[in-house]
Amino acid sequence: MPVLFIGHGSPENIVLDNDFTRALKRLGGSLPKPKAILVVSAHWLTDGTYVTCVEKPRTIYDFYGSPSELYRVTYPSPGSPQHAKTITELVENAEVQCDFSWGLDHASWAILKHTYPQADIPVIQMSLDYSTVQRMETRSLGHYYDIAKQLGPLREEDVPIIGSGNIVQNLRVADMYAMDAKTVPVGS
């Protein structure tokens, strides 16, 4: 099974039919059916690393000011406490703990709604240890890389690993005046 990063884009993609959502549908149709799916979410920031260990993860509406129809959409996939437990045992360089209160935030279900619309594949969500990022430790990227390597055996067990976030996740903390980036015209 593959490792994928999918920038989920606007929450409105949940209900839209566009090139992006059609590409997600094609992706789901092109892969063998997974036994479970692990999604590492840029929306679940925790002190430590957690995985959802619940039988029925709830749909989390972690977006604001969106059209009301988005709040009526659900993604009732099962969870997989067994796979979650395996994940806690695979990762040795960081403690990964079970969480029984979280569910699937829109970094997960917004893309899975199109990729696997039947919601019949168990989904486990993994948090990002935000305390590592907040301290801006030089080991941060290496830390996550090591965790990713240790999750590799899941792929041999027909569990794809999906990182989901977006390039514009935290624009509210960006200092646009201090940025020195040059724009590149489309088509260059």
C-alpha span between 90 and 133 (Å, rounded): 22
Q: If we measure between CA atoms, which residue out of 109, 122, 99, 120 comes closest to residue 53?
A: 99
pLDDT given for residue 177 in this prediction? 55
pLDDT at 133: 61
CATH number at residue 48: 3.40.830.10
DSSP letter for each residue of 16-34:
--SHHHHHHHHHHHHSPPP
DSSP 183: P
> What is the C-alpha separation between 127 and 163, in angstroms, rounded?
10
Residue 187 lies in a domain: no
Q: Is the dihedral of CA 92, 96, 97, 99 positive or negative?
A: negative
pLDDT of residue 184: 45
Sign of CA dihedral 148, 26, 79, 10: positive
Identify the segments of the chain with pLDDT beneath 70.
Answer: 132-140, 167-188
Residues constituting the chain: 188
180 in any annotated domain:
no
In a domain, 156, yes or no: yes
Tally the domains of the chain: 1
Structure tokens at 69: 């129809």
184 in any annotated domain: no
Q: Is residue 82 part of a domain?
A: yes
CA–CA separation, 55 and 174 (whole Å) = 38
pLDDT score for 16: 93
Backbone angles phi, psi at 127, to 5 degrees: -85, 170
Domain range enclosing 91: 3-173
Inside any domain, residue 182: no
Within-domain flag for 112: yes
Q: 3-class DSSP state for residue 146?
A: helix
Does residue 183 sit within a domain?
Answer: no
Q: Please give the structure tokens belonging to residue 80.
A: 């997989």
- Residue 65: per-residue pLDDT: 84
3-state SS class at 6: strand
